[in-house]
Structures are given as C-alpha cells and as structure tokens.
Amino acid sequence: MNLKTIYTIVCAVGLAGTGSAMAQPLLLSHSQCREMALAHSEELEQADIRLRQAELDNRIATTAYLPKLEGSATGAYVFPDIDMMGMDLRMRGMYMAGITLTQPIYTGGKITAGKRMARIGEAAAGEQLRMARMDILVDADNAYWTYLAVGRKVYMLESYCEQMDTLFSQMSGSLSAGMIIENDLLRIQAKQSEIHYQLQKARNGADLCRLSLCRLIGVDDTTAIVPTDTAWVATEPGLLTAEIDNRPELSLLKQQVEIGKLQIKNARAEMLPTVGLSAGYTYYGNIKLNSLVDVGNGTMMPYSEEFRDGIGMVMLAVKVPLFHWGEVHKKVRKARYELRSAELDLQKNRRLLNLEVQQAMRNVQDGYRLIGTAQIGLQQAVENLRVMRNRYAASMATLTDLLDAQSQWQQAESNLIEAQTQYKIYETAYLRATGRLE
C-alpha cells in the first residue's frame, strides 16, 4: 500500500467522523460491501419468500394428480317419529360416518396445464430472485466506488489547500519585503476561499455517500466506513459480447409467453368432458323401527328393531358441458389476445435489451479510453505545475500563470478520479446488462 493510499484511508476516516461522534471505524472491502448489502436487503428476502411460495405452489399442483381421501361424520335427531304403514321409524340420535376416495381420470387437460404453469411460476420466481440480487449488487458497487471517489477528491482538495496555504505564507513574506503588491495576496486569498468552499462541499458529499452506504449494508448511520480496495487498476476490456440470453428480464418475458399458451389450453379444457371415479363406505346406526306384532290369540306385543350397517359405493361420473352461451369461446379468444400481447412485449423488450447491452459495451470501452486520456492529462498538468513553480521562483512567470497551473492540476486530478470511478460503475452495468453479475 503506497503513501497516497494510506492518506486516502486516513482521509476517509476523518470524513466519516465529520459532524458527529463516530463508533469504531468499519474497514470495508468491495466484496464485503456486496455480501453485507445482500444479507441486509429486504427486497432480496422478499424475492426469496416468493420463490419458496412458488415451490409450494408447484407441489400443490402435483397433488391434483393424486386421489383425495375424505372422511365425514353426521349426527341427527329427527322428530316426530315417521309413520311407516303402522310402524314408527325412530331416528332420535342416529349417526352416519364414512370415507370417500375420489380420483380424477380426465379433466380436459386442466391438471396438466396447471402443473406446467406452476413449474413456470417457480422458474419465474427464481429469475426474479436473481434479478433482485443483481440490482442490489449494482447499488452496492455504485455506493462503494462513489464513496471512495469522493474521499479521494477530498484528499486532493486538502492537498490543494496546503499548496495555497504555503503559497500564501511565501507571498506574505514577499509583501512585507515589498517584492509584490497587495493585489497578488488578495488574489491568493480569493483562491483559498474558493478551494475551501469546494472542500466543504466535497466533505458534505462524502458524508452523504457514507450515510447511503450505511443504509445499504445495514449498519448504524454513525458508523465510520473506511474502504480498503483503494488500488485502482483498470485492465483493458477484452472481447465484449452482446449476449442477452442470460438476462432474467428476458427469461421472465419468455415465461410469460408460455403462460399465455397454457392459458389458452386451460380455457379450451372447459369445453371438454371431465371424468372422475369415486368410491366410498358409510356406516350408520341408531335407527329404530317400533311396531306391534300379533303373537297369537289376538295378543299384540311391542316389537323394536335397530338398524346398524355399512354401505359401500363405487361411482363413475362424467360431466359434459353442453351450452354456456359462448362463454368458453370468449375465454379462449381473450387468452389468445393475452398471448399476442405477451409476444409483442417480448419482441419490443428484446430490442430494448439489445440496445441496453450495446450501450453498456460502448460505455466500458469509452470509459477505459477516458482513463488513459485523464492519466496523460494529469501527467501533463503535474509537469506543467512543476515548471511553473520553478519559473515563478525565478521570476520568469506571473502569479496568474502559477494559479492557472494549479487549477489545471486540480481539474486533471478530478478528471482522473471521475474516469476511474465511472469505469468501475460501467463494468458493473455491463455485467448486469448481459445477466452475468453474480
């Protein structure tokens, strides 16, 4: 780690402590920032819950193939007694209990379509989870690199302030010796005020970036964050591909088309007959029959008989739709319109996704070239500042030339920081555009 990197980290610690009492600084690398952002994200947790729900929906759809076993129990108290040709049928406290097994045999394809839609729903939930993860990684990368870049700008402006303070001290001595006029010192003071203003703005921006990063990774907003990945190495981009087949958005659109096709089949199934097989067994009891019987010689004696028994039943049911005022045909037409709309949506968004990835590729290539241009500009500005200092010390250049050289150095340093930061962000955006951000 070089001296500039150490100064950058120290500067970041100082920025994090501006305006409030801070806790122990959090040393944060880029990979740790990503991990903490993923662990803290409510959106990612919600997407994971939706995936678990879709998995359960898929399992629920599987049960439609299986037979259903149901049990029932009934108790009744019927009064008055029922007269049956001189006999009384008493059902005071009768009961019935039984079980029924039902197996669908043919449903017009509804069960199969429902199962396939459930599988597609589970796959769609997985793509939504992957998309939410990518969005979080994009936010984490942007927040991390932006915070680091603003910290570097603060360090650069502090260095600029030190240069102007040194120049002011030198000019104050020269003014006392009568070597310069007071107007030169006033110009330096005006420049100092401008730099202090820029420095204060940069410090405020750094603290806002720190707060945003704290929210993203789920730490207290008083936490001092010190980024550790301060070595800016921009490697030349290799062969960039414009593939979008791995984009979760494209997968979701394709799945929506498949859902539309299945909805048509599901609507057509309502025109087809359904066949179901059921078998059951019912046990009943406490049903009594009371009467008087002739036992001989005209003598009548009361007689009572209780019924307790079980009944088994097997039934095959066929249901055929005959006439529903064209309802099913209208549902099929509606499903076809929905399918066509999904196909058009896929066609339109495929073009937009291709345009997005092309733009992302160009941004990466242009961003890398901008870094090279900014580095050359900084080298030239540094050399120009060195020459102007020497020439000013030898009274061969004016104060205006020196101040201009210092301003050019500040702008060149700022340009390089922005170019490097934007390149990192462009890299993440390209991986997101091609669906390879993991």
Over residues 95-118, the pLDDT tens digits come to 999 999 999 999 988 999 999 999
The stretches of 277-398 forming alpha helices (DSSP H) are 327-393
Q: Look up residue 413 and give its two tokens.
A: 């340093």
Instruction: Answer whether residue 246 is part of any domain.
Output: yes
Instruction: Answer whether residue 399 is part of any domain.
Output: yes
Which residues constitute the domain of residue 264? 242-271+326-438
Q: Report the alpha-carbon distance of residue 242 to residue 95 in Å, rounded.
A: 73
Upstream peptide bond of 227 is cis (omega within 30 degrees of 0): no
- pLDDT of res. 10: 43
Instruction: Answer whether residue 376 is part of any domain.
Output: yes
- Over 80: is that where the pLDDT of 261 sits? yes
Over residues 125-161, the pLDDT tens digits come to 999 999 999 999 999 999 999 999 999 999 999 999 9
- pLDDT of res. 64: 92
Instruction: Answer whether residue 65 is part of any domain.
Output: no
Instruction: Answer whether residue 414 is part of any domain.
Output: yes
With CA atoms as reference, report the closest residue to 428 among 30, 46, 36, 127.
30
Establish how many alpha carbons lie within 13 A of residue 40's alpha carbon, considering only the half-sphere containing its beta carbon: 18
Specify the pairing of strand 274-294 against strand 225-227.
Answer: unpaired
Segment 266-281 shows an average pLDDT of 93
Establish how many alpha carbons lie within 13 A of residue 61's alpha carbon, considering only the half-sphere containing its beta carbon: 20
Instruction: Answer whether residue 334 is part of any domain.
Output: yes
The DSSP code sequence of 35-51 is HHHHHH-HHHHHHHHHH
Instruction: Answer whether residue 393 is part of any domain.
Output: yes
Q: Quote the number of domains for the chain.
A: 1
Q: Look up residue 242 and give its two tokens.
A: 């414009």
- Over 80: is that where the pLDDT of 296 sits? no
Instruction: Answer whether residue 56 is part of any domain.
Output: no
CATH number at residue 346: 1.20.1600.10
